[in-house]
Each structure stands twice: as structure tokens, then as C-alpha cells.
């Protein structure tokens, strides 16, 4: 069960009790770059990611402008800036929604807002926005900033570590609570590695109360991949890389360690293996090569009754693991799989392939049967 971390502003903390947060030292710069976001009756957080003559942009989650129950999208939000860590927002702008997505099937929950006219306040917008770090890894320390409910609209922080990656989601032990939605997840240098999104919970069988399992953040690489679906290098309009040279020289693939399966299952009457997600969806591994790309060693696959399997909505095929080099038999072009959703990036030259994947790159290429090529979509090339 997943709980989305907005606060309904009319009832606030009366509905959602806040979790305890570890003490985090928040500098004035980090506090001023962390914003409060209100869309319709939903309050969350966001991060300043761009400020120049072309516009001022805010990064947040999609389930603030998009209602998580109805799917109805609002195109206008309000964004509040604080002067420092000890004050509530004193500068508020109206903001339009540039891009937004809330899709449980792909775990994409992002939005980009553009500031429009000022509502009130005389403070200035920070001149140096957050940059992004695309090279975080499991075990790294992180801080999460936001405006949790019940704290008089003050910036608060939570600290923890990266536990893992799956389906474009960063899993962490940094506790977050309602109001943190959209807040920046920062590395030790104050660069964005993710976006606070939701709590993954289970139910205590003794008390019936929800118990957090871990805390989920949208991975910045998933964000970049989604933005680039709108056009080549679309993310460059909104984001600045902390290390542009390293990003440009990297293969630019998601760090997903697994496809996000809660369970691997099969029915007794068929060898087909299914990936069951926590949200009552299931994906199917279309062939042995795809399964082996994720699970090269023996792994447990459980048997499930057909009637129980039918309770999970079949959504599509699992694609090859991110980082796999693939081609189809009828096309000589070689692609790298960029994420768990089957985004392909064409590798335009042998020199580029050798620079990124080594001299033996050809031996890594696997054929995708033409019949499964429709599970993938072609993104921007690996420049």
C-alpha cells in the first residue's frame, strides 16, 4: 500500500499524523530553494531548479497538480518561498503547470511549474537554484527537505540513506510524512538526486494500523527520461547538472537493480513468469532472455493459483534490464535500454559504443524478437 504525501489543506494534520523526523541542519540557501506548493486543495513541497531570463521553474510531484483519485489536473498552483529556515513563506507566486505526470504503472510522479505573477511579498527569488546529481548510489547519505503538516509551514528535514533502486524509484530510510510530497532529495553537496513521493506501507496484522516499510522518491534519472520524451534534451530547459561533463560521457541509464516486483510467480499449468507489483498490476516476462537480464542467477519463483493471478491487472511485458545493449534482427542499429519502461537510446557510432561500453561492446548486444519490439519506445540518441 502506498500513501501519497500531499496534505489536504482544509483538514491538514487532523487526518495524517506526521512521522518523527531526524534533526537536519538546513542552511539558509537550501531553505530558500525549497518551496511550498499548493495546487487546488493539496499542499506539498517543491524545489527551485531554474532561474534566468527564460523563466523560473519549480520541480515537484505530479500528484499535486493531478488529483491522485480522479486524475483531474489543475493548471494553476501557488508557490511560496521562505526567507530562511525559521520563517513561513513570505513570497508567493502564481505558477502554471508546464509538464505533469502521475502514472502508477510506470512509477512516474513529476511536475514542472513555471512562476507567473507575484501574489504577495517583496523578497527576491534565489539566484542559484538546485543542480542535479545523476550519479548517486546505494548507501549514499541523503537529506529530504519539505513542508510537513503540523509545523506552521516551516521547512523541515529528514536524513537517511539510499536503500535501492527499482522502476525509476529511489528507496530510502529517510522518514517523510504528508506535506513532503515534491520536496528535494539531496546528496551531501546539496544536489538533487530525487523527489519525495510516497510512503510504502503494510498493515500490522495485530493492530490493523499502517506501518512504513520504506520511503519512495522519484529518481532524477527517471525525471530526465520523462522530460526528454517531450523532445531531445528537453530536460536542459529546466535542469542544470552538477557535473555536466560526467553526465555527457555516461550511458544515461536508470540504476534499477530489479523491475520492482513484489513477487515473481507462475501458474502450474504454464512456465510463464509474472512480475506482481504492489499496486495490483502484473507484468509478464516475454522470454527467457528478458528474465535472465534481470535475474542472471537462480531465483525463487512462487506458484500462484490462476484465480489469484487474475486479481492482478495485466499491464504489459517486462523489458530488458536498463543498461542492456539490444537490436532487432531486421535493423542493424544498436540501442541501450535506458530504463525499466523500455526506452531505447540509439548508439550512433562505434566510437561512442566503445567509449561507453568498452572494446568488447559487440559481444554484449542481444537480439530482441521483432514481435516484442513494440514493448519499447525510442528516446533521444546517446550523443
Residue at 179 is within a domain: yes
Note the Cα 33 to chain centre separation in Å.
Answer: 20
Judged on CB neighbours under 10 Å (0-12, 13-18, 19+), 122 is: exposed
Residue 86 lies in a domain: yes
CATH number at residue 206: 2.40.10.10
Radius of gyration of the CA atoms of the chain, in A: 21
In this structure, are 68 and 155 located in the same domain?
no
Quick one: DSSP state of residue 347? -
Tens-digit pLDDT profile for residues 58-109: 999 999 999 999 999 999 999 999 999 999 999 999 999 999 999 877 889 9
Looking at 316, 333, 349, which one is the last position of a domain? Answer: 316
| Torsion angles phi and psi, residue 319, rounded to 5 | -100, 170
Decide if 153 is inside a domain.
yes
Does residue 27 sit in the same domain as residue 108?
A: yes
Q: Which domain holds residue 304?
A: 263-316
d(CA 361, CA 140): 29
Q: Are residues 242 and 272 in the same domain?
A: no
Clarify whether residues 335 and 272 are in a common domain: no
Classify residue 83 by its DSSP letter: S
Could you tell me if residue 125 is inside a domain?
A: no
Residue 241 sits in the same domain as residue 269:
no
Quote the percentage of the chain above a pLDDT of 90.
68
Total number of domains constituting the chain: 4
Question: What cell was used for 135?
Answer: 550519479
2 lies in some domain: no
The pLDDT of residue 151 is 67
Helix (H, G, I), strand (E, B) or coil at 247: helix
Q: Are residues 242 and 267 in the same domain?
A: no
CA–CA distances in Å: residue 106 to residues 24, 30, 111, 260: 32, 30, 15, 10
What pLDDT, on a 0 to 100 scale, did the predictor assign at position 23? 62
Task: Name the H helices within 180-337.
Answer: 220-228, 244-248, 288-294, 306-309
Residue 251 has pLDDT above 80, yes or no: no
Q: Which residues pair with 325 in a beta bridge?
A: 336, 365
pTM of the model: 0.86
**8 Å CB contact between 46 and 182:** yes
Q: What is the mean pLDDT of the chain?
A: 88
3-state secondary structure (DSSP) of residue 232:
coil
Q: How many residues are present in the chain? A: 383
Task: Pick the last residue of a domain from 120, 154, 183.
Answer: 120
- Residue 132, domain member (yes or no): no
Any domain includes 306: yes
Same domain, 307 and 343: no
Amino acid at each position: 500500500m502506498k500513501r501519497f504525501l500531499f496534505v489536504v489543506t482544509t483538514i491538514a494534520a487532523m487526518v495524517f499524523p506526521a512521522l518523527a523526523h531526524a534533526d537536519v541542519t538546513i542552511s539558509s540557501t537550501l531553505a530558500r530553494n525549497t518551496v511550498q506548493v499548493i495546487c487546488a486543495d493539496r499542499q506539498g513541497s517543491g524545489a527551485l531548479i531554474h532561474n534566468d531570463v527564460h523563466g523560473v521553474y519549480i520541480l515537484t510531484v505530479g500528484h499535486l497538480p493531478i488529483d491522485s483519485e480522479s486524475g483531474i489536473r489543475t493548471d494553476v498552483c501557488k508557490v511560496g518561498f521562505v526567507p530562511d529556515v525559521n520563517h513561513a513563506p513570505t513570497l508567493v507566486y502564481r505558477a502554471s503547470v508546464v509538464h505533469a505526470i502521475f502514472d502508477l504503472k510506470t512509477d512516474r510522479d513529476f511536475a514542472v511549474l513555471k512562476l507567473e505573477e507575484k501574489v504577495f511579498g517583496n523578497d527576491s527569488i534565489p539566484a542559484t537554484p538546485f543542480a542535479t546529481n545523476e550519479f548517486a548510489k546505494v548507501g549514499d547519505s541523503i537529506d529530504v527537505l519539505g513542508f510537513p503538516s503540523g509545523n506552521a509551514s516551516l521547512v523541515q528535514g529528514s536524513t537517511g540513506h539510499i536503500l535501492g533502486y527499482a522502476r525509476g524509484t529511489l528507496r530510502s530510510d529517510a522518514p517523510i510524512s504528508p506535506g513532503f510530497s515534491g520536496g528535494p532529495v539531496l546528496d551531501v553537496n546539496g544536489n538533487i538526486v530525487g523527489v519525495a513521493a510516497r510512503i510504502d506501507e503494510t498493515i500490522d496484522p495485530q493492530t490493523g494500523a499502517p506501518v512504513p516499510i520504506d520511503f519512495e522518491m522519484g529518481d532524477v534519472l527517471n525525471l530526465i527520461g520523462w522530460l526528454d520524451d517531450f523532445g531531445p534534451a528537453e530536460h536542459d530547459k529546466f535542469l542544470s547538472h552538477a557535473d555536466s561533463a560526467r553526465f555527457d560521457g555516461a550511458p544515461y541509464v536508470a540504476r534499477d537493480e530489479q523491475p520492482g516486483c513484489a513477487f515473481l510467480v507462475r501458474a502450474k499449468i504454464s512456465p510463464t513468469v509474472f512480475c506482481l507489483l504492489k499496486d495490483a498490476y502484473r507484468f509478464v516476462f516475454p522470454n527467457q532472455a528478458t528474465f535472465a537480464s534481470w535475474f542472471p542467477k537462480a531465483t525463487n519463483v512462487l506458484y500462484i493459483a490462476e484465480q489469484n493471478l487474475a486479481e492482478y491487472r495485466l499491464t504489459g511485458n517486462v523489458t530488458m534490464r536498463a543498461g542492456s545493449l539490444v537490436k532487432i534482427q531486421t535493423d542493424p542499429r544498436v540501442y541501450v535500454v535506458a530504463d525499466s519502461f523500455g526506452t531505447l537510446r540509439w548508439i550512433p557510432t562505434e566510437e561512442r559504443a566503445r567509449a561507453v561500453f568498452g572494446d568488447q561492446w559487440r559481444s554484449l548486444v542481444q537480439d530482441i524478437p521483432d514481435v516484442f519490439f513494440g514493448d519499447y519506445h525510442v528516446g533521444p540518441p546517446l550523443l
